[in-house]
Amino acid sequence: MAPENVSNSVSKPERVERQERVFFIPGRQRGQRVGLFVDVQNMFYSAKHLYQAKINYRRLLDDLTAGRQLVRAVAYLVTKPEVDQTAFVDALTRLGYEIKVKYLKIRPDGTAKGDWAMELSLDVMAVAPRLDTVILVTGDGDYVPLVERLKVLGVRTEVVGFPQNTATELMNVAHAFVAIDDAMLFKEKKFEAELAAQAAGNTEGFAPRGRAADSIAERFAAGEHASPAAQMGVWAPGNNEGDGSAQVDDATAERLASQLWDREHNK
C-alpha cells in the first residue's frame, strides 16, 4: 500500500504582513530629495535627561525619510579622548550614516568647546543645491541663521527634536517641527537606575570606573578654581588607574560632565 501523502494535510500558517508605521510629517511629499543631519550630542543628553532613554537611530532614519529619496545622512559626534565610541560609530555606519567625530577640547580655565554648529552648517550649505528638504535633528538655537538662509535658497527645512529642549526660535523659523515620539526611543536601564539613585541621594550602587578625582569631570565642576594639576585633568602625569588616586563614582562623574555640557551649550 502506498504511503499516505501528508504534505497536503498540514495547513500552512497564514502570512501576516507587517504593518508599515505611518509617521506624520507636515508637508512631506513622496520623492523629495532629503538630507538628514543629526546633532548626536544634543539628542543624547536630551533623551537621557527627559526620558532616561537613547535614540533609536534606525527608526529615526526610517521614519524621517520614508517615501523620500535620501541623498545624505550625517551624524555629528563629540567625544572625549578617554571614551571609546568605536562600537557606536560602527553601528551608525552600518545603518547608513556618515560619521563625523570631534574631540571635546578643554580650555585652561576648565571650560570646554565641542560643538559642530559651524561645520554642520557648512556641510548643509554645500549639499543644499541637491536637496528639496533639509532635516535637522537638534534643539540648538544656533541653527536659526542656517534655516533662514535655506529659506532664501528655496530649500525646505524640518527640525526634529524634543519640544521641551528645542529652542523656540528654531521651531518657529522651520517649515515644520517634528517631535520625536516613543517609537524613536528605547529605554536605558542604566539611566533609569542613575535617576533613581540621584533622587534617593544614594550613588553607592555605582562602582567607580577608574576616574581619578582630579579627572575631567571633577575639573568641570571646579572650573576656574581648580588647581593647575586639576586643570590638567586626565592628561596629568601619573593620572592612571591603579596609581592610588582618589576615585569618583560613575554616576557623579556623568552628572558633572552633563552639567558642563548644559552650561556650555544651553546658554
Can you give the residue ranges of every domain in the chain? Answer: 33-187, 205-265
Q: Which has more pLDDT, 52 or 220? A: 52
Block residue for cell numbers 548643509: 124
Q: Which three cell numbers stand for residue 22?
A: 505611518
Contact 213, 164 (CB under 8 A): no
When pLDDT is averaged across residues 200-212 and rounded to a whole number, the result is: 47
CA dihedral 161, 164, 168, 173 (to 10 degrees): 20
Whole-model pTM over 0.75 = no
Confidence of residue 141 (pLDDT cuts 50, 70, 90): very high
Residue 55 has pLDDT above 80, yes or no: yes
- Picking from 89, 74, 90, 77, the residue whose alpha carbon sits closest to that of residue 45 is 77
Distance CA 9, CA 129 (A): 61
- For residue 158, the model assigns a pLDDT of 97
User: Which strands make up the sheet holding 133-137, listed edge to edge?
Assistant: 98-103, 69-79, 33-39, 133-137, 156-161, 176-179
Residue 236 has pLDDT above 50, yes or no: no
69-85 residue pLDDT tens:
999 999 999 888 778 88
When pLDDT is averaged across residues 144-167 and rounded to a whole number, the result is: 96
Top-confidence range, 15-29, 193-207, 216-230, 238-252: 15-29
CATH fold for the domain made of 33-187: Rossmann fold (3.40.50)
- For residue 105, the model assigns a pLDDT of 72
